[in-house]
Amino acid sequence: MATFTTGDIPPMNGGTVIVTGANSGVGRSAAHALAAAGAHVVLAVRSVGKGKEAAAGMPGSTEVRELDLADLSSVRAFAAGWEGPIDLLINNAGTSAPSLTRTSDGFESTFGVNHLGHFALTNLLAGHLTGRVVTVASQAERMARLDLDDPNWQRRPFQSSRAYADSKLANVLFTAELQRRLTAAGSGVLAQAAHPGLVATAIYDRGERSVSNSLWKLAVKLLAQNSDQGALPVLYAAVADVPGNSFAGPSHLAHMRGAPELIPRSATAQDPAVAARLWTVSEQLTGVGFPA
């Protein structure tokens, strides 16, 4: 039976943790738990003011740095300003754009933030990584139809829910290919993915998951976990004794609620050829690759 709680986080002993989007929701809860366990937690956030408000409520050692995943120049600046080892990188920040919008670099916003921004960040910081990379994905990946010939919706009619699912499949595929490359390079760094379950966070105020949608409103009201509970699969992926390229998620209600455990993923998410092609497309779009 899955029983993992924040009490199972080992002493972090001042190790450095970066959490993107740590000013609210699951990211904030994960950052709080890791700071309480003794980590030095860097809140990598678009709004420094909101990040400082969140950090003020956290125990232990925290720091706030600006990072806008919708702008590759911001991602590059964050990475260029980094010094020292990173014990844990949690790629948590996410969005679900209700209509077709684009990042500063012209990417469709959901794919650009959820996948491409984190892809670039992880590769640019790779030389500093010593422990794990956890990317927050979702079981929504099972509903994806990722079109790698048109990942930024330049030719297809835009669908918010499909774009979100595509970005979450990209997160899982990215984790798989990142782990393959780390292993091939002889690195001991582990790449993991985590599905928080159904969590009552701000993402349900946007896109086709908006709580103005009566079905989602009822589902969120009756079934959603709070952000502290949603953070548990992320924390489990970050510290539990599990192999690389694991996918953690809640253990109950079709993996939507409950204590974390390792969960299955779709056949597409396990396809190494698709993962490799996504990586190549992502390198071409961002101009960032896996370091030699």
Amino acid at position 266, single letter: S
* pLDDT tens track for 23-45: 999 999 999 999 999 999 999 99
In angstroms, the CA 96 to CA 211 distance is 13
Query: Cβ of 48: how many Cβ atoms within 10 Å?
Result: 15
Burial 107-124, CB ≥16 within 10 A → b, else e: bbbbbbbbbbbbbbbbbb
Catalytic residue annotation:
164
Nearest to 202 by CA among 74, 5, 23, 65: 23
Question: Phi and psi for 167 in degrees, rounded to 5?
Answer: -65, -35
Q: Which pair of tokens denotes residue 36?
A: 């309480």
Q: Which pair of tokens denotes residue 170?
A: 């990209």
In angstroms, the CA 290 to CA 292 distance is 7
Helices (H) and strands (E) in the chain, counts: 9, 8
User: What's the burial of 283, exposed, middle or buried (CB within 10 Å: 0-12/13-18/19+)?
Assistant: middle
CATH architecture of 11-285: 3-Layer(aba) Sandwich (3.40)
Query: Cβ of 137: how many Cβ atoms within 10 Å?
Result: 32
pLDDT of residue 223: 72
Task: Name 17's bridge partners.
Answer: 41, 88
Q: Which pair of tokens denotes residue 224?
A: 């959603």
Write down the pTM of the prediction.
0.93
What are the residue boundaries of the structural domains of the chain, listed by start?
A: 11-285
Q: Which pair of tokens denotes residue 258?
A: 């409950």
Cα dihedral sign, 224-229-235-237: negative
Amino acid at position 123, single letter: N
pLDDT of residue 3: 87
pLDDT of residue 208: 42
* pLDDT tens track for 175-200: 999 999 999 999 999 999 999 987 77
In angstroms, the CA 290 to CA 159 distance is 31
Q: What is the block-wise mean pLDDT of the chain (292 residues), using blocks of 10 residues?
A: 88 97 97 98 98 98 98 98 98 96 98 98 98 96 97 96 97 98 98 89 49 60 79 97 96 72 97 98 98 80
Give residues with Cβ within 8 angstroms of 292, minimum separation 6: none
